[in-house]
Amino acid sequence: MTSELNAAVAGDTRLFAIVGDPIAQARSPLVFNEIFQRMGVNAVLVPMQIPAASLATAIAGLKDIGNLDGIVVTVPHKISMTPLVDRLQPIAQKVGAINCMRRAPSGEWIGEMYDGEGFTRGLRKQGHEPRGMAVFQAGAGGAGKALAHALASAGVTSLQLIDVDRAKQDALIADLAKAYPDVNVSAGSTAPEGVDMVVNATPCGMGGDDPLPFDIERLDRRVLVADIIMKPERTRLLREAEARGHRIHLGRHLLENQAEIIAEFFGVKTV
């Protein structure tokens, strides 16, 4: 938060939160608070570290805070948060995960998922049209499911998926094959090749000593390498890909392109 925003917080300030574990990597407070300040909205978004074992208890408590209007959801809670809302919007129903929830005037909490739309919008704004691409993606968790559905909906020709949790991987492949029969969906290899874009949709890369989420040695230099991790901005995957001559796509593009969508979901006009 900026010093100006800190000075503006008062008894009538509306509250928003981002919940996750870990939470230090989250850039959402900076982005959302800049939006609030730019639009003259008396609101603040704060980070809250909540471990998985305490999630239901913590969310129940947050719902009782009268001036808390919405919550952004990050790793690892995007799937486990779905039963903690009263109603899921269409994308969240399809994906089975949420990355935001808001309190409706009726008092019920509504959840939706915008990771996928944020990712595909970000690609297009950076000049990378997903339609017609052959794509490899690591990660079938909450964000990974959202990205996979969005990429299939955007018209990729094929989508190879891997996840360390084989059950999640296979379930997502089955869901996508049923929902998008024109897309060739299959299990991938940890050493992908023959694709136009590779995507890391796992938490691998948040830590400085994390291994690569997949091998990039067999990739043609024309392949776009994308990561959804926000911090560090250039993960080991992106640094090594850039050193090999690949174009790279940063995680912040996803956040920046979904933040205004989520702000409007929260009821904040951004234009």
Distances (CA, A) of 215 to 14, 166, 207: 45, 18, 18
CB 144 within 8 A of CB 113: no
Distances (CA, A) of 238 to 111, 199, 227: 31, 10, 7
Entry field: residues in the chain: 271
Query: What are 190's two structure tokens?
Result: 């940890």
Residue where the block lists tokens 């799937």: 79
Single-letter amino acid, residue 125: K
Active site residues: 78
Element (H, E) at 58: helix 55-63
